[in-house]
């Protein structure tokens, strides 16, 4: 074999020789559904390349809802030529029998990261009558959308099993970038002494947040044996929570980030009977559930009777769920004064609305005399002392007032803002506009008499046509003839510049220019029927047979009047 | 008999009020500004305010060191009576040596100061109606405009042109406010945590604009613009004495 081939083989096999080997062991090998088991991961490294201690195993173990795991210790030793590091992990088997799998992950040691291949294992069927009697853990969180910046009080409730009881809890932590987590106290609660672990969550990112809370409980077998035989019970809870921003609609201008449900617990003053100018301390204590540590102190403005200066409270959190705000007050006037109002707006996540509370003011009896005159004249502090001493007396001063009785009842609001004045002027303008419109119409009519007569005749012809059709439908020949003659006269009158009542059938025919015999006969027949009684006897009412010709004639007349 | 009784009662009431006015003035001159203010406050509640009473209350407030209330009283007095000497002296004193900043008057505001704002309003209305009626009346009667109509329209138009700047100045003078809170921040944005760009002293007068989110857009005497909390800025154009800050929402 050539030398260069041997060198290549050595170079290719060198990494394999230096590779770490990983083995695992489960105790028991086939756990029952829900049974705790221990997983031992042994990593053997080459002799000349030690691993060192594992540094972040707790954070690198995969988080699975059905197989909670917690790192519980590391054992380092040397076997043969290589160094072996054994990591012990406490876990709980899934509740369903069958094949299960822990996905591949990696563990960081002091010198390098070692990949751990996926681990397959089997959960056996529960035996008939088998009862493990294990303790159980249950997560309790508010069943509602969470809000950015609020402090959510959560708890994990541990129920004792028949064969073991939970004696302690430790290592509760949350993974996820969207929340800030703070573990609280653990205590016995309820009639049967259940263990409750409290914690606080503060969402710090809006949107859907994956929340994973894990920890270990210590289970004490109900055997009366020593506490040293307590067993680790890891638990993992995985939830998706919806985090919203606090709504902008209806947000008070003085809202200072308070989210929760609060009450004004108390308002106290350090001295209830100060002198004028003597500073006293006012403490407002807020109580309730919420983000008390994230609230900006409510602003208390200077009043007419008080000078207000905010101050730093030395112990703002005197009790859980309480927050104290402190202010320095200096009275300006003597007498019985009430402390300035302290108001706080907060967002109630349960009601999903903003609310406001006000601390009940305290009465303070201020003694002493108001100053005769406060010197409000300013002096430039940067001016040299000689200039200040030599400064002339102020060139201006207040004039002596002389208010007298009966001079009151004046209004500051301008007359221009009066609605009554605006309404009266608007009404006047409308009336003037209406009057001008009427005058303009009258003038137009006077200037265009023919157009007015035509318009009037057009309306009358239209009405006659309508009457004619109704009479034809009712077979009322007399009304039919009167309607036809009325319409023909009204339509022909403006064309001849004559009086409608004076027109005869021949006048109508001449004005309309109708020469056809059928239409002329229809017109004459209508006139005979309508006006016959005035000239020695009415003709028979036969105009209904000329209805089409008469209606057509009236429609034509109306069209001509539009030209 | 009943009329005589009513007149006697009215005279007695006026005499009593006159006595209280005198007592308030005496208290003021004796240096009891708080006592004088109490009496003037009671009289204002019963009778309403006048320019004289507001100016006097402004003096007493100034003596008690309450710049903001004093400036509101004086500014309000000048709205009622632009020539009130006590209020003018008070404002001059506060501006010259009291450290209070007040926007300088614009030409139309100085012009408007010649008459009361209501007088400008009435003059403008009367002149506008004169012009309108001089033009419309002959038309309503179907006639042409005569010489008298032309003269009336010309006079009305002249008066209207003269009262225009007065109206403008009055409107501008009404859109002002006084800052009531010492060292109130002038904010860049109308929000609680808006970045402060300047500090407004108690009693400083500002020109006001639109309102948003519990703040009002203002411009200071130096021309700087920003947002001031509405609770801090008391409008000059309002009824009565300055509002009590302790009960402000």
Give, for all 563 residues of chain A, the pLDDT tens digit: 566 666 565 555 444 445 788 889 988 888 888 888 889 998 888 877 777 888 878 778 887 878 888 888 888 775 444 578 888 888 888 888 889 999 999 988 888 888 899 999 999 888 777 777 777 788 888 888 899 889 888 888 888 877 777 878 888 888 777 888 888 877 777 666 788 888 888 888 888 888 888 888 887 776 555 555 667 788 888 888 889 999 988 888 888 899 999 999 999 999 999 998 889 999 999 999 888 888 888 988 777 788 888 777 777 777 778 899 999 999 888 888 899 889 999 999 989 999 999 999 999 999 887 766 666 655 555 555 565 555 555 556 777 787 765 555 466 667 777 889 999 999 999 999 999 999 998 888 888 878 888 888 999 999 999 999 999 998 888 888 889 999 999 999 888 888 888 888 889 998 888 888 888 888 988 888 888 777 666 556 677 888 888 999 999 988 888 87
Separation in Å, CA of A291 to nearest CA in chain B: 19
CB contact under 8 A, B52 and A301: no
Separation in Å, CA of B35 to nearest CA in chain A: 9
Separation in Å, CA of B43 to nearest CA in chain A: 9
The region of weakest confidence among A50-59, B101-110, B114-123, B228-237 is A50-59
Phi/psi region, residue A420 (left: phi>0; alpha: psi -120 to 50; beta: rest), is: alpha
Model confidence over A34-47: pLDDT tens digits? 888 889 998 888 87
Q: Which of A146, A148, A151, A182 is nearest to A291 (CA)?
A: A151
Q: Residue A158 in 3-state DSSP?
A: strand
Q: Residue A9 in 3-state DSSP?
A: helix
CB contact under 8 A, A412 and B43: no
Q: Are B213 and B191 in contact (CB under 8 A)?
A: yes
CB contact under 8 A, A304 and B244: yes
Q: What CATH fold (topology level) applies to the domain B2-100? A: 1.25.40
User: Closest residue of A to B92, CA-based?
Assistant: A396
CB pairs below 8 Å between A and B: how many?
A: 202
B91 interaction partners in chain A (CB closer than 8 Å): none
A254 interaction partners in chain B (CB closer than 8 Å): 192, 214
A442 interaction partners in chain B (CB closer than 8 Å): 142
CATH architecture observed for domain B176-238: Roll (2.30)
Q: Are A258 and A343 in contact (CB under 8 A)?
A: no
Q: Are A28 and A38 in contact (CB under 8 A)?
A: no
Give residue limits of the domains in chain B.
2-100, 109-174, 176-238
What is chain B's length?
A: 249
B249 interaction partners in chain A (CB closer than 8 Å): 343
Q: Are B134 and B153 in contact (CB under 8 A)?
A: yes
Facing residue for B213 by CB, picked from A253, A371, A440:
A253
User: Closest residue of B to A251, CA-based?
Assistant: B213
Task: Give chain A's end-to-end CA distance (angstroms, integer).
Answer: 122
Q: Are B20 and B42 in contact (CB under 8 A)?
A: yes
DSSP E strands, A245-340: 260-269, 280-290, 306-310, 322-331, 335-338
The rounded radius of gyration (Å) of the Cα atoms in chain B is 23
CB contact under 8 A, A407 and B214: no
Assembly ipTM: 0.72
3-state helix, strand, coil in chain B (%, to 5): 55, 15, 30
A371 interaction partners in chain B (CB closer than 8 Å): 64-65
Phi/psi region, residue B206 (left: phi>0; alpha: psi -120 to 50; beta: rest), is: beta
Q: What is the pTM of this model?
A: 0.54
Q: Are B152 and B191 in contact (CB under 8 A)?
A: no
Q: For the CA atoms of A272, A277, A278, A280, what is the dihedral angle to 10 degrees? A: 60
B53 interaction partners in chain A (CB closer than 8 Å): 403, 407-408
Q: Give the per-residue pLDDT at B15.
A: 65
Facing residue for A402 by CB, picked from B25, B76, B141:
B25
Q: Which residues pair with A21 in a beta bridge?
A: A44
The token pair that represents A490 in the structure block: 């009204």
Facing residue for A253 by CB, picked from B33, B141, B214:
B214
Separation in Å, CA of A470 to nearest CA in chain B: 44
Model confidence over A520-541: pLDDT tens digits? 888 988 888 888 777 666 556 6
The region of weakest confidence among A222-236, B68-82, B139-153 is A222-236
What is chain A's length?
A: 563
Asked whether the CA dihedral B215, B219, B220, B222 is positive or negative, the reply is positive
Burial A198-210 (b: 16+ CB within 10 A, else e): bbbbbbeebeebe
Phi, psi (degrees; rounded to nearest 5) at B154: -65, -45
A397 interaction partners in chain B (CB closer than 8 Å): 89, 93
Facing residue for A304 by CB, picked from B94, B139, B245:
B245
Residue with tokens 């030398």: A3
Question: Which run of H or E residues covers position B41?
Answer: helix B33-47
Question: What span, in angstroms and rounded, lies between the C-alpha atoms of A382 and B99?
Answer: 15
B190 interaction partners in chain A (CB closer than 8 Å): 253
DSSP A536: T
H/E/C letters for each residue in A503-529?
CCHHHHHHHHCCCCHHHHHHHHHHHHH
Can you say how many angstroms the Cα of residue A268 is from the centroid of all Cα atoms in its chain?
Answer: 36
């Amino acid at each position: 074999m050539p030398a260069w081939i041997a060198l290549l083989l050595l170079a290719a096999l060198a990494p394999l020789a230096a590779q770490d080997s990983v083995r695992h062991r489960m105790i028991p090998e086939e756990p029952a559904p829900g049974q705790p088991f221990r997983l031992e991961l042994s990593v053997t490294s080459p002799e000349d390349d030690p691993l060192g201690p594992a540094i972040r195993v707790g954070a690198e173990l995969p988080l699975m809802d059905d197989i909670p795991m917690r790192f519980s210790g590391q054992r380092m030793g040397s076997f043969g030529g290589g160094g072996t590091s054994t990591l012990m992990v406490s876990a709980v088997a899934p509740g369903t029998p069958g094949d299960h799998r822990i996905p591949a992950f990696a563990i960081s040691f002091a010198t390098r990261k070692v990949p751990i291949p996926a681990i397959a294992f089997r959960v056996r069927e529960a035996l008939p009558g088998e009862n493990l009697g294990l303790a159980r853990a249950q997560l309790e969180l508010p069943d509602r959308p969470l809000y950015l910046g609020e402090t959510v009080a959560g708890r994990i409730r541990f129920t004792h099993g028949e064969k073991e009881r939970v004696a302690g809890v430790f290592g509760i932590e949350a993974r996820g970038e969207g929340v800030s987590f703070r573990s609280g106290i653990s205590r016995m609660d309820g009639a049967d002494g259940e263990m409750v672990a409290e914690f606080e969550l503060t969402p710090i990112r809006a949107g859907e947040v994956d929340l994973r809370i894990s920890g270990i409980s210590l289970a004490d077998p109900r055997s009366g044996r020593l506490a040293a035989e307590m067993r680790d019970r890891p638990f993992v809870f995985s939830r998706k929570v919806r985090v919203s921003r606090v709504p902008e609609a209806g947000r008070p201008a003085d809202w200072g980030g308070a989210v929760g449900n609060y009450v004004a617990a108390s308002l106290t003053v350090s001295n209830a009977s100060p002198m004028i100018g003597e500073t006293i301390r006012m403490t407002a204590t807020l109580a309730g559930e919420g983000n008390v540590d994230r609230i900006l102190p409510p602003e208390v403005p200077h009043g007419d009777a008080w000078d207000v200066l905010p101050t730093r409270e030395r112990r703002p959190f005197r009790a859980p769920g309480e927050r104290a705000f402190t202010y320095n007050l200096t009275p300006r006037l003597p007498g019985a004064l009430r402390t300035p109002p302290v108001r706080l707006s907060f967002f109630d996540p349960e009601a999903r609305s903003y609310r406001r509370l006000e601390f009940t003011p305290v009465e303070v009896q201020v003694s002493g005399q108001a100053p005769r005159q406060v010197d409000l004249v300013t002096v430039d502090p940067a001016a040299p002392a000689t200039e200040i001493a030599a400064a002339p007396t102020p060139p201006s001063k207040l004039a002596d007032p002389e208010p007298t009785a009966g001079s009151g009842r004046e209004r500051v609001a301008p007359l221009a803002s009066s609605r009554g004045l605006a309404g009266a002027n608007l009404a006047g303008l409308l009336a003037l506009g209406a009057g001008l419109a009427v005058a303009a119409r009258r003038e137009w009519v006077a200037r265009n008499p023919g157009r007015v007569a035509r318009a009037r005749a057009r309306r009358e012809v239209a009405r006659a046509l309508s009457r004619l059709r109704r009479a034809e439908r009712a077979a009322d020949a007399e009304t039919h003839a009167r309607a036809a003659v009325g319409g023909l006269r009204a339509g022909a009158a403006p064309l001849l510049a004559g009086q409608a009542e004076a027109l005869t059938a021949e006048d109508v025919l001449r004005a309309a220019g109708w020469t056809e015999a059928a239409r002329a006969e229809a017109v004459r027949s209508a006139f005979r029927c309508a006006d016959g009684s005035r000239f020695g006897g009415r003709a028979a009412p036969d105009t209904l047979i000329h209805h089409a010709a008469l209606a057509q004639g009236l429609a034509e007349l109306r069209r001509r009047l539009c030209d | 008999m009943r009329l005589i009784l009513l007149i006697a009662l009215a005279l007695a009431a006026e005499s009593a009020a006159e006595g209280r006015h005198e007592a308030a003035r005496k208290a003021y001159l004796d240096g009891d500004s708080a006592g004088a203010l109490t009496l003037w406050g009671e009289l204002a509640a019963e009778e309403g305010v006048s320019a004289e009473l507001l100016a006097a209350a402004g003096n007493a407030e100034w003596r008690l060191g309450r710049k903001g209330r004093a400036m509101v009283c004086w500014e309000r007095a000048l709205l009622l009576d632009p020539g009130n000497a006590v209020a003018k002296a008070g404002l001059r004193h506060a501006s010259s040596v009291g450290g209070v900043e007040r926007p300088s008057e614009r030409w139309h505001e100085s012009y408007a100061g010649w008459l009361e704002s209501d007088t400008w309003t009435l003059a403008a209305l009367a002149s506008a109606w004169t012009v309108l009626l001089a033009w419309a009346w002959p038309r309503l009667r179907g006639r042409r405009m005569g010489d008298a109509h032309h003269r009336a329209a010309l006079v009305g138009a002249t008066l209207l042109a003269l009262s225009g700047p007065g109206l403008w100045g009055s409107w501008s003078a009404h859109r002002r406010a006084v800052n009531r809170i010492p060292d109130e921040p002038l904010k860049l944005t109308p929000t609680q945590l808006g970045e402060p760009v300047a500090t407004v002293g108690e009693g400083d007068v500002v020109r006001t604009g639109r309102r948003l989110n519990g703040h009002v857009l203002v411009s200071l005497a130096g021309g700087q613009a920003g947002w001031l909390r509405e609770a801090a800025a008391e409008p000059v154009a309002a009824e009565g004495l300055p509002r009590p800050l302790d009960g402000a929402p």
